[in-house]
Amino acid sequence: MVKMRLNKFLSNSGLASRRKCDEIIKEGKVFVNGKLITELGAKINEKKDKVIVEGKVISLPSSFIYIKLNKPKGYACTAKDEKGRKTIYDLIKCEERLFSIGRLDYDTEGLIILTNDGDFANKVAHPKFHMEKEYRVTIEGEIKESELAVMRKGVVIDGDRLPSAKIQKLDSDEKFTKLSVIIDEGQNRQIRRMFEAIGKDIRLLKRVRIGDVKLGGLKRGEYKDLTEAELNSLVRIK
């Protein structure tokens, strides 16, 4: 019988990403059939072995869930926030343990994909696929073409160049400018850092697309299952 790597089993159970599961194993939090396991290459029989993490029995889900959520501003993308703030999981009625494919910061709203299929999440989130993520950005005041050119090339901060971005001005008036920003790497707070570097204040930041999956007409705080076409579009990236 072909056995499954322990970190893959934990990830597929929805516990965390593959990398995070490696950390959990190294930290001595995983027991298999009563034995502490700290070896990263350990394999198990997923149908027979009993796996416990921090006192909780871990098992593979009986079925996989794939949903998209319109995250409102003021929610953290963690299962439990150390500051006691509301999280995206307060919005979702689901008994399965879900985790998000990528995150949005506390003050950013828009599209989040959640699943209990750890293997799928690991593949979709892998940076080698350069999956596009599109945002709507509202800033105060006008923006010059020269400033757009800087961000399209990649803003330099403290000697390090951020990844380039596709940017298009959508609308503007005397007070605000609305733009479409598309990135395919997603460094931490990348878009906010880009605009901060050119002295622009963001009033609204919303993700509207991941790959071919669009936010659509979802209201803030609403979620629904991915359609078969949406799911297939993510799978095809592989």
> What torsion, rounded to 10 degrees, do the Cα atoms 134, 90, 20, 45 define?
-120
- Residue with token string 């803030």: 220
Q: How far apart are CA 50 and CA 52, in angstroms?
A: 7
Classify burial at 167, counting beta carbons within 10 Å of its beta carbon; exposed 0-12, middle 13-18, buried 19 or more.
buried
- Can 105 be counted among the known catalytic residues? yes
Give residue for tokens 């190294």: 26
Distance CA 238, CA 167 (A): 26
Distance CA 108, CA 234 (A): 23
Residue 186 three-state SS: coil
Name the active-site residue from 22, 49, 81, 105. Answer: 105
Q: Kindly tell me the burial class for residue 15, based on how many C-beta atoms sit within 10 Å of its own C-beta (0-12, 13-18, 19 or more).
A: buried
How far is the C-alpha of 84 from the C-alpha of 33, rounded, in Å? 35
- Residues 52 and 14: beta-carbon distance below 8 Å: no
Q: 204: helix, coil or strand?
A: strand
- Residues designated catalytic: 105
